[in-house]
Structure 1
Amino acid sequence: MPLEGSYAIWNNRGGSGKTTLTYHLANKFALKNPDKTILLIDMCPQTDLSHALLGDDEHNQDYVSQIGTMKKDPMVFGEQKFAKTVSGYLDLYSCQGLPGSVDPRTFLLNVSKFNAQLPRNLYLLCGDASIELIARSLDHKRNQTASVSPFGAHAWKSITTSLKQFIAKIAERKGIKLVAFIDVQSSCSIISEIGLAACDKLLIPITDDHLHRNGFEYMFALLYGFSQPSSVYYYHRHFSFYYRAKQYDVKLPKIHLILNKSHRTATTKNNQKEWEFIFEVYKKHPQAFNLAKESLELTTLEQFKSEFVISISEETSANQIVRQAVRSHSPLLTPKKNSNTNNNNNSNNGSSSNRNSSSNLVILSTSSSSRLKNPKIVRSASPSPNTRNASLPNVNANCVNKSSDALNENFSLIKQDCLSLNSNLLNEELSMYSQNEQTNAILYDEVLDKIVSSLDRT
Structure 2
Amino acid sequence: MEIRYAFWNNKGGTGKTSLAFQSIVRYAEKYPKKRVLAIDVCPQANLSELMLGGLNSKGSEKLLERQGLVPRCSVGGYFQLRLPSPYSPPVFDAQDFITLPHEYNKGVTNNIHLVCGDPLLELQANAVNTLANNQIPGTNPWIAVVDWLKDFLAQVEDDYDTVFLDCNPSFSLYTQIALAAADRIILPVMADDSSRRAIQNAFSLIYGLKLPSEIYAAYAFATKLKAAGRPLPKVHLIVKNRITQYMGAASAYAAVLSAIETDITKLLKSNPEIFGFKTIPKGFVEVRDFQTTGVVAFAKGLPFSKLQVGKQTINGHRVQVKDEYLENAKVAMDELVSRL
Please report the TM-score for the alignment, with normalisation by the length of structure 2.
0.88
| Percent identical residues | 26
How do residues 263-342 of structure 1 correspond to structure 2 at under 5 angstroms? 263-266=244-247, 267=250, 268-291=254-277, 298=278, 304-313=279-288, 317-334=289-306
- 1:36-435 equivalent positions in 2, closer than 5 A: 36-55=34-53, 62-68=61-67, 70=68, 73-75=69-71, 83-96=72-85, 97-100=88-91, 102-146=92-136, 153-172=139-158, 176-209=159-192, 213-228=196-211, 230-231=212-213, 234-261=214-241, 262-266=243-247, 267=250, 268-291=254-277, 298=278, 304-313=279-288, 317-334=289-306, 421-423=307-309, 426-427=312-313, 433=320, 435=322
Shift in CA distance, 245/139, structure 1 to aligned 2, threshold 3 Å = same
Separation in 1, partners of 2:105, 2:52 = 6
- Report the more deviating stretch, 235-244 or 107-116: 235-244
TM-score, structure 1 normalization: 0.67
Partner of 2:327: 442
Match of 1:8 in 2: 6
C-alpha separation between the residues in 2 aligned to 1:163 and 1:60?
Answer: 25
| CA shift in 2, pair 1:24/1:104, >3 Å | same
1:452 matches 2:337: yes
- Residue 415 of structure 1 aligns with which residue? none
1:426 CA displacement = 4.0
Deviations 1:165-219 (A, max 9, x none): 21232113xxx34211111000111011011111100001111025765333211
* Preserved contact between residue 328 and residue 425 of structure 1 (Cα < 8 Å): no
Instruction: Mark the runs of 5 or more structure 1 residues left unpaired by the alignment.
Output: 76-82, 292-297, 299-303, 335-420
Equivalents in 1 of 2:330, 2:221: separation in Å? 35
d(CA) in 2 for partners of 1:225, 1:211? 20
- Compared CA separation, residues 144 and 328, structure 1 to 2 (3 A): same
The answer to whether the Cα contact below 8 Å between 1:211 and 1:271 also exists between their aligned partners in 2 is: no
Aligned length: 328
Q: Is the 8 A contact 2:185 2:235 kept in 1?
A: yes
Code of the residue aligned with 1:433 in structure 2: it is Q
**Which runs of 5 or more structure 2 residues have no equivalent in the other structure?**
none
RMSD, matched Cα: 2.5
For 1:248 and 1:163, locate their aligned partners in 2 and report how far apart those are by CA, in whole Å: 17
